[in-house]
Amino acid sequence: MMKKKQKKGKKRTKKQAFFPYVKDLLIACGSVLVVLIIITAICFKGLRIEGYGMMPTLRNRDIVVAKRTKTIKRFDLVVLTIGNKQQVRRVVGLPDEIVRYQNDQLTIDGHPVDEKFIVDEINDSQRGGKAFTEDFISGSGSIPEDYYLVLGDNRSYATDSRHYGLIAKRNVIGVITMRLLPINDLKRF
């Protein structure tokens, strides 16, 4: 009888010694999760695409993730604010550049630049006898410091810098890094 009581006592002691470690592990995991959520909220923004201005790259109701950054390169997809609305557009012109479209050819400071992301759409429009992007120039001089020229990929439908002018850097929320949904079109940009 004594041996049974001793065994039960040892079992309790092992269980009692195990539970503080589990408690500490759960507290540590919870703390790491909270820190990750805070960092993610500060550095990234989730967004649902509204409209058809970025087709075929992004479609209406796609869910994307934008990295909150002010480092912007040519052809980045950016989330920006225009009035009270958020839009996603592609950066075509950077500060101190002169951007020109003529006969569906993009030129930056007089040098031709290919837009590989819409080459099929340009070719389809030209086969139909239409220009995909109407001719224009980015103003009387170069793009001012801290401003960008942005365009939608669906040029005939998109409202962009051709309509509302250049975008100030302060209006850029972040750069799109990934399309999350629909899951079958998961893509990193």
Encoded tokens for 128: 């139909």
User: Which residue range forms the structural domain that includes residue 158?
Assistant: 49-188
Encoded tokens for 6: 């001793």
State whether 20 and 89 are in the same domain. no
State whether 81 and 40 are in the same domain. no
**What whole-number distance in Å separates Cα of residue 47 and Cα of residue 176?**
9
Summarised one tens digit per residue, pLDDT across range 20-31 is 777 888 888 888
State whether 109 and 94 are in the same domain. yes
State whether 34 and 113 are in the same domain. no
Asked if the model's pLDDT at residue 131 lies above 60, the reply is yes
State whether 77 and 135 are in the same domain. yes
State whether 8 and 100 are in the same domain. no
pLDDT band (50, 70, 90) for residue 68:
confident
Residue 154: what pLDDT? Answer: 93
Angle at 131 between CA 161 and CA 54, to 5 degrees: 45
State whether 69 and 144 are in the same domain. yes
Residue 38: what pLDDT? Answer: 79
Whether residue 56 has a cis bond before it, omega within 30° of 0: yes
Taking alpha carbons only, the member of 128, 110, 116 closest to residue 90 is: 116
Domain CATH code at residue 140: 2.10.109.10
**What whole-number distance in Å separates Cα of residue 151 and Cα of residue 169?**
15
CA dihedral 51, 139, 82, 118 (to 10 degrees): 30
Summarised one tens digit per residue, pLDDT across range 94-113 is 999 999 999 889 999 999 99
Residues in the chain: 189
State whether 111 and 23 are in the same domain. no
**What whole-number distance in Å separates Cα of residue 75 and Cα of residue 182?**
23
Residue 134 · residue 34 · CB < 8 Å: no
pLDDT band (50, 70, 90) for residue 129:
confident
Q: Which stretch of DSSP H or E encloses residue 105? A: strand 105-108
Asked if the model's pLDDT at residue 67 lies above 80, the reply is yes
Residue 129 · residue 42 · CB < 8 Å: no
